């Protein structure tokens, strides 16, 4: 039988310590070459969704896959997103539109057995994404941040910010949090939640620079599509953790003593001619991430760091930098398999016949 699992099912069985542990083991396997994955693939074409007057928009169809022999599992993550790129304060922002029924999004992970080839589970990907991204950045901090890091400066207070802080609290004894968001009310509410959930001394900051001033760990958790974090904000001993690659400016890569990428594999993008015409009309390249100038091949990845094949922090005055450059399919295989194991043991989800997905050999 194939198990169909919702976000609610996954939430009942997932916890950050287990996800961090599972992913740390996965990245050790990636670093040794045992686990494998391919680069992300994005398809862009125009959408018929009503977004707004003269706002560029697209349907973005994205896939990530990876296989982990120790789990006897492989998966493919598929997201089917309607995205818009409005101008906010003169800068482009990528905004995902809940265009599906009941104002929802579509993202699924298909988990396969490498022993039989059969489809073991279909999972909604939302909570898997939150846990995985938080855990990955926490693993980076575990290997790179100073052992005595206590103060965190956070830029961004949206959907992904909470998992970033929760995961950091698993690997360092965080005590103080300074938060900047362009929406002051959002920052205030986020700080109140962090005080309640993690007993942190949390306060809103007046600016992004003020948020990270004096921080042991600086965290960016934004949807910016224009780099904004300059090297001048980096101070001796700081660890910079960026949730996505459009946040740090290029000079950060030169100033950091140690810089680790999540992966060196870039996504492969395919664009319809209709979509290209819309790009030309708006004079804007509407990709998930605008092209950058940094050569990713110059930096080691997280698998190499965890497996001991990359340099880590050697003294407390060094500046370290972890960049979640793009997603890795194996991370979803690892977390999806963890959810599957636990949900199956607890009788969660909906079972459907696996035979619906199998087919006989043609005559």
Residues 218 and 240: beta-carbon distance below 8 Å: yes
Residue 204 pLDDT > 70: yes
pLDDT per residue as tens digits for the range 287-334: 656 667 788 889 999 999 999 999 999 999 999 999 999 899 999 999
> What is the reported pLDDT for 76?
98
> What is the reported pLDDT for 80?
96
Mean pLDDT of 108-115: 98
> What is the reported pLDDT for 277?
80
> What is the reported pLDDT for 203?
96
Residues 310 and 260: beta-carbon distance below 8 Å: yes
Question: Which residues, listed in sequence order, are joined to residue 219 by a DSSP beta bridge?
Answer: 154, 241
Domain 146-265+294-323 classified CATH 3.40.50.720?
yes
DSSP state letter for 93: B
Asked if the domains at 2-128+328-356 and 146-265+294-323 fall in one CATH topology, the answer is no
CB neighbours of 218 closer than 8 A, spacing ≥ 6? 152, 153, 155, 211, 212, 229, 233, 234, 238, 239, 240, 241
Consecutive H or E run containing 202:
strand 201-204
Across the chain, what does the average pLDDT equal? 92
The upper half-sphere exposure of residue 251, i.e. CA atoms within 13 Å in the direction of its Cβ, equals 7
In angstroms, the Cα distances linking 53 to 56, 84, 85, 87 are 9, 11, 12, 12
Largest CA distance in the chain: 70
At 125 the three-state DSSP class reads: coil
pLDDT per residue as tens digits for the range 44-94: 888 877 776 677 888 999 999 999 999 999 999 999 999 887 777 766 677
Mean pLDDT of 139-149: 97
Mean pLDDT of 239-248: 92
> What is the reported pLDDT for 17?
96
Mean pLDDT of 1-16: 96
> What is the reported pLDDT for 294?
82
CA 235/CA 216 separation, integer angstroms: 9
Residues 44 and 60: beta-carbon distance below 8 Å: yes
Mean pLDDT of 112-129: 96
pTM: predicted TM-score of the whole model, two decimal places: 0.91
Exposed/middle/buried for residue 329 (C-beta within 10 Å: 0-12, 13-18, 19+): buried
> What is the reported pLDDT for 110?
98
Mean pLDDT of 169-180: 97
| Domain boundaries defined on the chain | 2-128+328-356, 146-265+294-323
Q: Which of 41-55, 141-155, 289-303, 348-362 has the highest mean pLDDT?
A: 141-155
Return the CATH class of domain 2-128+328-356.
Answer: alpha beta
Residue 149 pLDDT > 90: yes
Residue 154 pLDDT > 90: yes
- Of 216, 214, 259, 211, give the one whose Cα is nearest residue 237: 216
- Of 91, 94, 88, 85, give the one whose Cα is nearest residue 57: 85
Task: Give the whole-number percent of the chain exceeding pLDDT 90.
Answer: 75
> What is the reported pLDDT for 55?
79
DSSP track, 248-315: B-THHHHH-SEEEES-SPPPEEEE-HHHHHHHHHHT---SSS------GGGS-BHHHHHTT-S----S
> What is the reported pLDDT for 1?
95
CA 178/CA 194 separation, integer angstroms: 11
pLDDT per residue as tens digits for the range 254-287: 999 999 999 999 888 898 888 788 778 777 776 6
> What is the reported pLDDT for 79?
96
Mean pLDDT of 156-171: 94
């Amino acid at each position: 039988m194939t198990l169909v699992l919702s976000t609610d099912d996954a939430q009942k069985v997932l916890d950050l310590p287990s996800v961090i542990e599972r992913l740390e083991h996965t990245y050790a396997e990636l670093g040794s070459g045992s686990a494998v994955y391919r680069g992300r693939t994005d398809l862009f074409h125009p959408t018929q969704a009503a977004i707004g007057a003269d706002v560029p928009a697209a349907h973005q169809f994205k896939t990530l896959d990876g296989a982990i022999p120790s789990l006897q599992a492989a998966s493919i993550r598929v997201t089917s997103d309607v995205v818009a790129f409005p101008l906010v304060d003169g800068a482009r922002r990528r905004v995902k539109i809940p265009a599906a029924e009941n104002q929802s999004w579509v993202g699924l992970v298909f988990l396969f057995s490498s022993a039989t080839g059969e489809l073991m589970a279909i999972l909604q990907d939302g909570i898997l994404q939150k846990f995985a991204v938080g855990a990955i950045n926490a693993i980076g901090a575990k290997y790179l941040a100073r052992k005595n890091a206590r103060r965190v400066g956070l830029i961004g207070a949206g959907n992904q910010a909470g998992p970033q802080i929760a995961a950091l609290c698993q690997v360092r004894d965080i005590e103080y949090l300074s938060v900047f968001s362009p929406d002051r009310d959002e920052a205030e509410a986020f700080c109140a939640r962090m005080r309640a959930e993690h007993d942190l001394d949390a306060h809103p900051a007046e600016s992004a620079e003020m948020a990270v001033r004096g921080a042991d760990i600086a965290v960016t958790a934004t949807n910016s599509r224009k780099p904004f974090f300059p090297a001048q904000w980096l101070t001796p001993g700081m660890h910079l953790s960026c949730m996505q690659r459009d946040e740090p400016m290029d000079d950060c890569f030169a100033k950091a003593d140690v810089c680790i990428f999540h992966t060196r594999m870039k996504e492969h993008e395919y664009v319809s001619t209709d979509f290209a015409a819309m790009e030309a009309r708006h004079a804007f390249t509407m990709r998930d991430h605008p092209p950058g100038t940094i050569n990713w091949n110059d930096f080691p990845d997280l698998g190499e760091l965890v497996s001991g094949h990359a340099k880590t922090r050697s003294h407390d005055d060094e500046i370290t930098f972890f960049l979640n450059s793009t997603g890795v399919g194996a991370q979803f295989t690892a977390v999806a398999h963890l959810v599957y194991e636990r949900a199956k043991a607890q009788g969660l989800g909906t079972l459907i016949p696996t035979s619906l997905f199998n087919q006989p050999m043609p005559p």
